[in-house]
Amino acid sequence: MTTTPNTEHALRQEVRDLTDEWLAAGRYTPRSDAWLRSFDAEFSRELGRRHLLGISWPRAYGGRGLGNVARLAVTEELLRAGAPVAAHWMGDRQIGPAILRYGSDRLRDELLPGIVAGEHVFCLGMSEPEAGSDLAAVTTSARRTEGGWVITGRKTWTSHAHHATHAYVLARTSDGERKHQGLSEFIVDMHEPGITVDPIHDLAGQHHFNEVVFTEAFVPADRLLGTEGDGWRQVTEQLSFERGGPERVLSSYVVMRTLLDGQDGGDVPELGDLIARLGALRQLCHDIARALDEGEAPIQAAASLKYLGNLFEREVVEAAFRSRGAGIVSAASAFGDGLLASPAFDIRGGAQDVLLSIIAKQEARA
């Protein structure tokens, strides 16, 4: 699945035309961290109507069959524009690809067209209150019952669970000698009885995080994703999609743009260094996308990108802070919005010590 320069240019122009159109009409305000904090179901459906979701997927499921390099062109432009993409991001980025890799034909037919259309909203049931970034420590359980499973447990920091139609849930289906064993992945209908969603408000008082409680929530047998008990291997491969994308580099691009345009009104001596690092990180994004197109699971490269990208994103915000000098910061400004988003950069998708551990282990095996 090779993406030609002409195809990439055409895709970028498609996205720019759409975001320019919506901006001109005042239909959204560019935001930092838009892939998590800016939710607009209609914008996602519009992307679906323009065939800009699932473009790396087979045509049989509504995709374009263009590969992950093509998807990178689309996602970079959306993030640069600070567009409201949170409604489709999880489904398009990782749940759809996970279903393509591990889902049954029935699961693919049932769920992929809805993701491509921007109709299905997925949340991620990974983190737990007592587990932190250690996914192997999850205690949420899935117990067999007639016709399927019942899930009991708690998930936290679950973005947009209050909007979600479906949840991906990592749960323990058996106990093994090692805590990595006995984990399985499920796709859960969020409208099932036994699921409650409690809001968690961020520093600005905004609601996009949640805690989700499962109390004997039923999951049909065909919603098991992949092989029972093989969830750890599957989820670590899935995290290549989560950690290896441009959202690990461009979450603070709306702030970066104010520096590039001189809007902050101050001197930014480190701007050249930031531009050079951005170029290197974008190349790493491209390398990861190409590896995914070749059927690889670039776990180490994705962890490296997230680690380096988090440092870069935080330093963009710090550079903007230094350029502004003292003064009151409005939360509604590009800088204020980025500043409020920045505490999460280092945590989501794996804390720094977890990422360094992954990198070190992969090096040891090499």
266 and 324 belong to one structural domain = yes
292 and 221 belong to one structural domain = no
Q: What value does the mean pLDDT take over residues 252-281?
A: 85
Q: Is the pLDDT of residue 25 over 90?
A: yes
| pLDDT value, residue 266 | 58
| pLDDT value, residue 328 | 53
| pLDDT value, residue 72 | 95
- How many residues can be counted in the chain? 366
Of 38-47, 159-168, 211-220, 242-251, give the lowest mean pLDDT range.
242-251
Kindly state whether residue 187 falls inside one of the protein's structural domains: yes
The SS3 call for residue 110 is helix
Q: Would you place residue 347 in the very low, low, confident or very high pLDDT band (cuts 50, 70, 90)?
A: low
Q: Which range is most confident: 16-20, 269-273, 319-323?
A: 16-20
Q: Which of 244, 263, 238, 251 is nearest to 78 (CA)?
A: 251
Which of these three, 90, 120, 150, is where a domain ends? 120
The single residue of 242, 315, 318, 363 carrying the catalytic annotation is: 242
Kindly state whether residue 236 falls inside one of the protein's structural domains: no
Kindly state whether residue 36 falls inside one of the protein's structural domains: yes
Report the CATH number at residue 331. 1.20.140.10
Kindly state whether residue 41 falls inside one of the protein's structural domains: yes
Which of these three, 87, 120, 153, is where a domain ends? 120
The predicted-structure confidence for 31-63, as pLDDT tens digits, reads as follows 999 999 999 999 999 999 999 999 999 999 999
216 is catalytic: no
Q: Would you place residue 350 in the very low, low, confident or very high pLDDT band (cuts 50, 70, 90)?
A: low
Kindly state whether residue 327 falls inside one of the protein's structural domains: yes
Q: Is the pLDDT of residue 362 over 70?
A: no
Residue range(s) defining the domain that contains residue 225 = 123-231
Which of these three, 69, 95, 120, is where a domain ends? 120
| pLDDT value, residue 354 | 67
Q: Residue 179 in contact with residue 128, Cβ under 8 Å?
A: no
What is the rounded distance in angstroms from the CA atom of residue 152 to the CA atom of residue 215?
Answer: 5
Structural domain total, the chain: 3
Q: Would you place residue 270 in the very low, low, confident or very high pLDDT band (cuts 50, 70, 90)?
A: confident
| pLDDT value, residue 325 | 61
What is the rounded distance in angstroms from the CA atom of residue 102 to the CA atom of residue 108?
Answer: 9
| pLDDT value, residue 112 | 97
15 and 115 belong to one structural domain = yes
Kindly state whether residue 321 falls inside one of the protein's structural domains: yes
**Sign of the C-alpha dihedral computed for residues 31, 33, 35 and 41 taken in this order:** negative
Report the CATH number at residue 63. 1.10.540.10
Q: Residue 134 in contact with residue 354, Cβ under 8 Å?
A: yes
| pLDDT value, residue 42 | 98
136 and 77 belong to one structural domain = no
The predicted-structure confidence for 195-230, as pLDDT tens digits, reads as follows 999 999 987 788 999 999 999 999 999 999 999 999
The predicted-structure confidence for 52-92, as pLDDT tens digits, reads as follows 999 999 999 999 999 999 999 999 999 999 999 999 999 99
Kindly state whether residue 302 falls inside one of the protein's structural domains: yes
Q: Is the pLDDT of residue 2 over 70?
A: no
Kindly state whether residue 142 falls inside one of the protein's structural domains: yes
256 and 357 belong to one structural domain = yes
116 and 143 belong to one structural domain = no
**Cβ–Cβ contacts within 10 Å for residue 134, how many?**
14
116 and 132 belong to one structural domain = no
